[in-house]
């Protein structure tokens, strides 16, 4: 399996506060990587690095071997916990938008046959995530779970190299969350996606992931806690057959 996204000795520092220190890892094609860790352990910073929202202060990040530009781009899809969809577009327009960015970069809109084709593609994608009956509905009329389905469809229409999920199911009811687990697992298998998911829920991490990364500080200085950053303290590869119970050393860690 080839490595899609790789981090090499990456540090993130704000002034003299160190958030991440010496993070080195590679994400293989087709992997579903869950990232857990206590609050403030740099999980979100790590995801921001992968997104390009932030640049590392030291070290390098590569996507398919090429250095990653510190700017979000269409090769990396994202679903945030909230605000991922555009409130002023219907569900269908939300998905068509990704196609318009690519095919109508000047006018911003497509017409005639091209438009019809894009709408069909988008409608098929929405059907796929279970929103086939809500094409013309505005996001505010959708439930939280439906909005996340829409955000996923939006990202998938661009066929990203890697899908980044930032606590995507954190704000959902438990029942809805289970449905979403099913959906994302199905999509991941079907489309052969590579996924990087940050979550607070350690059970979710072990249930969905093929690999679980735990971020935390390796060392602590009680006088100057900000001088040590977090890094990957555990890296569990999981395969289908192995039992997916949470290991003892991680119990309680991600409860925060």
Residue 77 touching other proteins (CB under 8 A): yes
C-alpha closest to that of 167 among 147, 196, 191 = 196
Residue 160 touching other proteins (CB under 8 A): yes
Residue 43 touching other proteins (CB under 8 A): no
Show the site string, 114-143: x = touches other proteins by CB under 8 A, - = not: ------------------------x-x---
Residue 1 touching other proteins (CB under 8 A): no
Helix (H) or strand (E) holding 208: helix 202-208
Longest dimension (CA), the chain: 66
DSSP state of 57: S
Residue 74 touching other proteins (CB under 8 A): yes
State in angstroms the smallest separation of the CB of 232 from other proteins.
24
Residue 83 touching other proteins (CB under 8 A): yes
Site for other proteins in 86-105 (CB under 8 A): 86-89, 97-98, 100-102, 105
11 neighbors 58 (Cβ within 8 angstroms):
yes
- Coil vs helix vs strand at 191: helix
Residue 168 touching other proteins (CB under 8 A): no
Q: Kindly list the strands in the beta sheet with 195-198, ordered across the sheet, starting from the edge strand earlier in the chain.
A: 66-67, 58-63, 3-14, 17-28, 230-237, 211-217, 32-36, 195-198, 162-166, 76-79
Which residue ranges make up the site for other proteins (CB under 8 A)?
51, 53, 71-74, 76-78, 80, 82-89, 97-98, 100-102, 105-106, 108, 138, 140, 151, 154-155, 158, 160
């Amino acid at each position: 399996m080839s490595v899609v996204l790789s981090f090499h000795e990456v540090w993130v520092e704000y002034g003299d506060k160190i958030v991440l220190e010496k993070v080195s890892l590679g994400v293989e094609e087709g992997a579903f990587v869950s990232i857990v860790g206590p609050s403030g352990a740099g999980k979100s910073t790590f995801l921001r690095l992968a997104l390009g929202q932030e640049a590392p202060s030291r070290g390098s990040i590569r996507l398919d071997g090429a250095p990653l530009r510190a700017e979000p781009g269409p090769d990396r899809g994202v679903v945030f916990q909230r605000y991922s969809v555009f409130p002023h577009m219907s569900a269908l327009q939300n998905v068509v938008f990704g196609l318009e960015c690519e095919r109508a970069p000047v006018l911003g809109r497509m017409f005639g046959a091209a438009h019809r084709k894009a709408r069909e593609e988008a409608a098929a994608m929405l059907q796929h995530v279970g929103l086939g009956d809500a094409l013309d509905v505005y996001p505010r009329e959708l439930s939280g779970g439906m909005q996340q389905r829409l955000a996923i469809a939006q990202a998938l229409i661009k066929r990203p190299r890697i899908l980044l999920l930032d606590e995507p199911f954190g704000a959902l009811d438990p029942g809805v969350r289970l449905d979403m687990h099913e959906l994302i697992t199905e999509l991941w298998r079907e489309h052969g996606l590579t996924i990087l998911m940050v979550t607070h829920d350690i059970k979710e991490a072990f249930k969905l992931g093929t690999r679980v990364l735990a971020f935390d500080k390796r060392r602590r200085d009680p006088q100057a806690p900000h001088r040590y950053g977090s890094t990957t303290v555990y890296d569990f590869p999981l395969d289908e057959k192995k039992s997916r119970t949470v290991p003892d050393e991680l119990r309680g860690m991600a409860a925060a």
